[in-house]
Amino acid sequence: MSAQDLELNSGVRTVLSRHWIDLTKTSFFARKGHVHLGGEVAVLGETQRQETAETLKATEAELRRLRDVKTISFEFTNWVRDGAGSWVCLEKGSEANGSGPKPAGGSSGNEVVEIDWRGNEVRPAARGGSS
């Protein structure tokens, strides 16, 4: 891992901490300008879905401003981006504020969404074969 990667990982940790994202539940790594976040999103002290969605949006914007970030990918178990770029909570039974529709297309919510440096969603190529 290069010094540049270490600096970027430190920047990501700082941004997540600044937005009160629980680092014991959210994992991340950065390598060669590519930032990957996964696990569960839990914002310390917040219980409203709308507040968490706004926090994710602000966190993403701040991560994009870090030097040397080329792409950001998200693979959260409890939050997913819909086609319009809004964050949607996948958990049932939480506080009702901000409960939105499920993602279109029959997604389980466990797909990786990669965002390039311009903020555009990068669709992965279709994989061949069956499961």
pLDDT digits (tens, 9 = 90+) for 53-98: 999 999 999 999 999 999 999 999 999 988 888 999 998 765 433 3
Q: Annotate 60-114 with DSSP letters as a single string.
A: HHHHHTSTT--EEEEEESSEEE-TTS-EEE--SSS-STT--PPPTTS--S---EE
Structure tokens at 44: 């310390």
For 93-119, write each residue's pLDDT tens digit.
654 333 344 444 444 455 566 666 566
Pairwise CA distance, residues 39 & 30, whole Å = 15
Q: What are phi and psi of 33, to 5 degrees?
A: 85, 0
